[in-house]
């Protein structure tokens, strides 16, 4: 309900700035006057086509209206980041758990969508790197070749194990670092990452 009231205030404020009456906004947006009244009183929240029509009539983007309705919740942002620590138990959990959280809250919490995309891009990239090392390791074993030839004489299987430890440490540091940044309302920095989600 609080979200509806915030959005209602912003729509009313934008309408007033444009010098439009509720009736004029209804005509411009091709919506029913009663719909405009219910939106501005916070009884209902505009979605889909209604949101697009309102945004067009008020000369703003639909995302701008949605952003106003989002709540700030640094604790939830921090929790999103920390949920990626599940990679410690199984690598893909570091993608699955944040993905489920991101999908459920991306339109409800401010900066959740952008943070979630950056986190997921990093976790997916990290999983690809980790699984590539495992594939390299198993190919070497199956083909009875010395692992040394795959890693250019860097110490054989010890180098692969060290590389896996480095990847795990990097992920751990990135998640904790960005959880703290999120809690302080600072943008997250997840690099290197392939931009799967834009």
- In degrees, rounded to 5, the angle at the alpha carbon of residue 145 between the alpha carbons of residues 139 and 148 is 95
Q: Are residue 80 and residue 170 in the same domain, yes or no?
A: yes
Q: Are residue 127 and residue 166 in the same domain, yes or no?
A: yes
pLDDT in tens, 145-157: 554 454 444 455 6
Number of domains in the chain: 2
- Distances from the Cα of 193 to the Cα of 97, 108, 130, 145, angstroms: 18, 25, 13, 31
Of 45, 69, 93, the residue at which a domain comes to its end is: 69
* Three-state SS annotation for 56-73: HHHCCCHHHHHHHHCECC
pLDDT in tens, 45-81: 888 889 889 999 999 887 777 765 567 788 999 999 9
Q: Are residue 15 and residue 61 in the same domain, yes or no?
A: yes
Residue 191 within any structural domain of the chain: no
Residue 188 within any structural domain of the chain: no
Helix (H, G, I), strand (E, B) or coil at 109: strand
For position 13, which CATH number holds?
Answer: 1.10.260.40
Q: Are residue 85 and residue 50 in the same domain, yes or no?
A: no
Of 24, 47, 69, the residue at which a domain comes to its end is: 69
Q: Are residue 115 and residue 169 in the same domain, yes or no?
A: yes
Residue 29's domain spans which residues?
2-69
Residue 49 within any structural domain of the chain: yes
Report phi then psi at 92, rounded to 5.
-70, -20
Q: Are residue 109 and residue 148 in the same domain, yes or no?
A: yes
Question: What pLDDT is attached to residue 64?
Answer: 73
Q: Are residue 110 and residue 134 in the same domain, yes or no?
A: yes
Q: Are residue 38 and residue 124 in the same domain, yes or no?
A: no
Q: Are residue 82 and residue 170 in the same domain, yes or no?
A: yes
Question: What pLDDT is attached to residue 154?
Answer: 47
pTM of the model: 0.65
pLDDT in tens, 21-47: 999 999 999 999 999 999 999 888 888
Average pLDDT of the residues of the chain: 86
Residue 86 within any structural domain of the chain: yes
pLDDT class of 118 with cuts at 50, 70, 90: very high
Q: Are residue 88 and residue 165 in the same domain, yes or no?
A: yes
Of 69, 91, 123, the residue at which a domain comes to its end is: 69
Q: Are residue 23 and residue 118 in the same domain, yes or no?
A: no
Q: Are residue 37 and residue 134 in the same domain, yes or no?
A: no
Residue 197 within any structural domain of the chain: no
Residue 198 within any structural domain of the chain: no
Question: What pLDDT is attached to residue 158?
Answer: 72
Q: Return the number of other C-beta atoms located less than 10 Å from residue 57's C-beta.
A: 22
pLDDT class of 88 with cuts at 50, 70, 90: very high
Residue 151 within any structural domain of the chain: yes
């Amino acid at each position: 309900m609080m979200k509806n009231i915030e959005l209602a205030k912003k729509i009313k404020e934008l309408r007033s700035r444009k010098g439009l009456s509720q009736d004029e906004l209804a005509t411009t947006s091709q919506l029913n006057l009663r719909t405009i009244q219910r939106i501005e009183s916070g009884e209902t929240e505009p979605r889909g086509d209604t949101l697009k029509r309102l945004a067009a009539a008020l000369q703003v983007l639909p995302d701008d209206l949605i952003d106003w309705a989002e709540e700030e919740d640094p604790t939830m942002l921090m929790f999103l980041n920390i949920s990626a620590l599940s990679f410690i138990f199984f690598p893909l959990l570091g993608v699955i758990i944040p993905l489920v959280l991101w999908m459920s809250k991306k339109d409800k919490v401010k900066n959740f969508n952008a943070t979630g995309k950056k986190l997921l891009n990093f976790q997916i990239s990290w999983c690809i790197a980790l699984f590539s090392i495992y594939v390299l390791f198993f190919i070497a074993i199956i083909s009875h070749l010395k692992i040394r030839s795959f890693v250019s004489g860097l110490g054989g299987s010890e180098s692969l194990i060290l590389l896996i430890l480095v990847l795990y440490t990097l992920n751990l540091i990135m998640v904790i670092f960005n959880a703290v940044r999120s809690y302080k309302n600072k943008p997250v920095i997840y690099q290197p990452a392939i931009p799967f989600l834009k």
